[in-house]
Amino acid sequence: MSKQYVMLADTVRCINCKACVVACRAEWETPMGHTRDWVTEVELVQNNQPQVMLFPGRCQHCDDAPCIEACPSGAAYKREDGIVLQDNCICSGCELCVPACPYEARWLNPETNAISKCTFCQPRIDEGLEPTCVQTCVGRALIFGDINDPESEVAKLLQEKEWLQLVTDEVNIGPNHYYYTAGEAIPDEVMPKLNERHLPGTIMKNVVNPVGAIGIGAMLLTFLGAGVVKLISRRDEVNTSENKEEK
């Protein structure tokens, strides 16, 4: 069976120390003002008593990822192991995927002019390492692994406890990120929300694409300028790498 990677966040163990945020910044050299992961501190009042809940967040690597449908260049894609990735060589930086994500996990990296997001540390896990946020997590609140491996910690933990996903009636797109809250309901604040600027995938598929030949102009212009250069360089790069392989 192929791998299916998931991230678990045990919010009882999270202390909002933000080690994950800085480790990610250091690992992937994200520019100031942007982060691929975050911790949301939700302050609640219950029976006039304070309550604080903590939610580490990042790309949820959804099964039915709207960012992929929204991406006009094919840069956003899902790997067989479930990880949603962004091909920087193709990404035009058009940002159509940004409002598509109901978790606000995507942003334009001004240094690369490509979309940046959590990759579950794909380059690290491909070498057998843990994601950097997991490795550094002070409360060991983050647990990562292959859900299809019954011996994995994530598979066992998912069996042992009741885990929740950040899903609503409106947004239920199969996130591969689970949360343990010891029975507490997840507050609305951290729930996914449809962005009104987002052009849903169904429109892309059913309306835009069939009439693409005629009606696409306006949309095309939004990414064309930046995109073409990237598409060409991607073509050149593919050519070069193929040439190398032939040798």
Partner 1 sequence: MSTHDHFDPSRRAFLGAATGGTALTIAGLPSQALARINAPHDHEELKKTTEVFGFCDMCYWRCGLKIRSRDGRAVKIDGNTEHPNNWGVVCAKGNSGLMVAYAPNRLKYPMKRVGKRGENKWKQISWDEALDTVATELNKAKEKYGPQTLALIGHGSWEKPYHRLAHAFGTPNTTSPVFGLCCGPRGVSNMIIMGRNLTGNETIDLENCKYFLMMGRNITESLHNGETLGWVNGVANGAKVVYFDPRYSITAAKADEYYAIRPLTDHAFLLAMINVVINEELYDKQFIAEYVVGFDELKERVQKYTPEWAEPITEVPAQDIRRLAKEMAAKAPSVFVYAPRRMTRTSNDFGTGMAITILNTLFGVWGRKGGVFTPQNYKVPEIDLPKFEHATANRIDVGGDFNYEQPEIPIAHIQDKDGKYQRADGAGVMGRWPIANPQYGLTNEMWKAMAEQRPYPVKALMTAGGNGFLNSTNYDIIRKALETVDFYVATDVIPNEMNMYADILLPEASYLERYDDLQVGGGREGYVAVRMPAMKPLHGTRDAWTICKQLADRMDLGAYFPHDSIKELIDDRLKKAGSSLAEIEKVGILKIPADPKKNFPLDHGGKLKIKTPSGSSKAEMIPGMLKMMGYDKALDYVEQVRPNEDEFHMTFGRIGFHTHARTQDNVWTADLMRENVLWIHPESAAKRGINEGDLVKVSDRKGRSGEIKAKVTIRIRKDTIFMVHGFGHWDSRMTTANGKGLADSDLASYEVDPSIGSMSMGLSLVKVEKV
Of 57-76, binders to partner 1 (CB under 8 A) are 65, 68-69, 71-74
152 binds partner 1 (CB under 8 A): no
Closer CB to partner 1, 169 or 221, in the complex:
221
C-beta of residue 180 within 8 angstroms of C-beta of residue 48 = no
Q: Which residues pair with 142 in a beta bridge?
A: 9
C-beta of residue 146 within 8 angstroms of C-beta of residue 112 = no
Helices (H), the chain: 19-28, 66-70, 97-100, 122-125, 132-136, 153-160, 201-203, 212-215, 217-246
The residue range among 108-116, 161-169, 170-178, 199-207 that interacts with partner 1, by the rule CB under 8 A, is 199-207
The residue range among 105-113, 156-164, 168-176, 225-233 that interacts with partner 1, by the rule CB under 8 A, is 225-233
- Min. distance of Cβ 26 from partner 1 in angstroms? 5
27 binds partner 1 (CB under 8 A): yes
123 binds partner 1 (CB under 8 A): yes
Alpha-carbon gap, residue 73 to 95, rounded angstroms: 11
For strands 177-180 and 5-10, give the pairing. Answer: parallel
Q: From the list 60, 109, 116, 119, which residue makes contact with partner 1 (rule: CB under 8 A)?
A: 119
Task: Give the CB-side neighbour count of residue 131, counting CA atoms within 13 A.
Answer: 29
b/e sequence 54-66, b meaning 16+ C-beta within 10 Å: bbbbbbbbbeebb
Closer CB to partner 1, 40 or 209, in the complex:
209
Q: How many residues of this chain bind partner 1 (CB under 8 A)?
A: 76
> Considering only residues 205-224, where is the footprint of partner 1 by CB under 8 A?
205, 208-210, 212-213, 216, 220, 224
12 binds partner 1 (CB under 8 A): yes
C-beta of residue 129 within 8 angstroms of C-beta of residue 135 = yes
Closer CB to partner 1, 22 or 194, in the complex:
22
139 binds partner 1 (CB under 8 A): yes
The residue range among 24-32, 102-110, 144-152, 158-166 that interacts with partner 1, by the rule CB under 8 A, is 24-32
- Min. distance of Cβ 171 from partner 1 in angstroms? 18
Alpha-carbon gap, residue 226 to 113, rounded angstroms: 9
